[in-house]
Amino acid sequence: MRIPLIAGNWKMNMNHESGKDLVKKISDKVGGSDPEVVVCCPFPMLLEIGKCLSDSAIMLGAQNMHWENSGAFTGEISADMLLELGVKYVIIGHSERRQIFSETNHMINLKVKKALEKQIVPILCIGELLNEREGKQTERVLTDQLENSLANINTQEATKIVIAYEPVWAIGTGKTATPEQAADTIGFIRGWLKEKYGESSSEKIRILYGGSVKPDNISEIMKSPDVDGALVGGASLIDEDFINIVHFKHSN
């Protein structure tokens, strides 16, 4: 039985005051039978936001990390640095990192491996561009991202990874994949995982949907049994919206 997960990705938004105010508002309202909840805030806020979350059910996440333990990597952050701040989850290979910062599947693979070694849960992002979907290339693109980002990751390690399927054309655009598109594509990812890691292990891997998730579409998206939660950008910055996403109603 996979535990649903709702992860908020603040991206490069908020400051100490607005961030603390936001987590105070949401942490009171999360717990009990809710899904697991993670807040991935910018690096400079991890310490303070982590303190605010210390008595809550919400876990702390980061948005990136480097694959080496230390060294001459100006501007980078190591897994050990994240651990010192209480980070439990880290987003890896977000499409903004792939597109704007030229991260490759090989770099992403190194980061996933390092996160696993350090027992930080990697949220590995994959997804196709609009022209790739229109050109019916979605499955080829996802296969390539999965094969290369998960290279040399064994079955036991794979069960600890969270995969976030984020069609790039749906990120921050207000254009959500239809529940059928999300379900079909996540079903395809589950099938790929089954081929690679076997049925029982692939059933343990959580797969999230990301891309313009809002309170009014989360229930439909969560209808598919293969969808285990959401990676939420814009709506994670608004307390009421994020809480309503966490408290989504099963519409089956």
Ligand X SMILES: O=C[C@H](O)COP(=O)(O)O
Residues that bind ligand X (CB under 6 A): 9, 94, 166, 171-172, 210-213, 231-235
Closer by beta carbon to ligand X, 52 or else 177: 177
Distance separating alpha carbons of residues 66 and 180, to the nearest angstrom: 35
Closer by beta carbon to ligand X, 30 or else 235: 235
Tokens of 237: 């910055």
Any binding-site annotation on 56? Answer: no
- Quote the least distance from Cβ 212 to ligand X, whole Å: 4
Burial class (CB in 10 A: 0-12, 13-18, 19+), 32: exposed
Any binding-site annotation on 212? Answer: yes
Distance separating alpha carbons of residues 168 and 145, to the nearest angstrom: 13
Using an 8 Å Cβ cutoff, are 120 and 87 in contact? yes
- Quote the least distance from Cβ 154 to ligand X, whole Å: 27
Using an 8 Å Cβ cutoff, are 250 and 222 in contact? yes
Any binding-site annotation on 234? Answer: yes
- Quote the least distance from Cβ 63 to ligand X, whole Å: 8
Q: Which of 36, 96, 128, 166 is catalytic?
A: 166
Q: Which of 36, 66, 94, 96 is catalytic?
A: 94
Tokens of 74: 């100006």
**Shortest-Cβ-distance residue relative to ligand X:** 233
Distance separating alpha carbons of residues 120 and 69, to the nearest angstrom: 14
Residues pairing with 7 in the sheet: 38, 231
Question: Does residue 94 have an active-site annotation?
Answer: yes
Tokens of 75: 């501007």
Closer by beta carbon to ligand X, 79 or else 218: 218
Using an 8 Å Cβ cutoff, are 37 and 46 in contact? no
Any binding-site annotation on 10? Answer: yes
Closer by beta carbon to ligand X, 24 or else 175: 175
Binding-site residue ranges for substrate: 9-11, 172, 212, 233-234
Q: Tell me the binding residues.
A: 9-11, 172, 212, 233-234
Residues with catalytic function: 94, 166
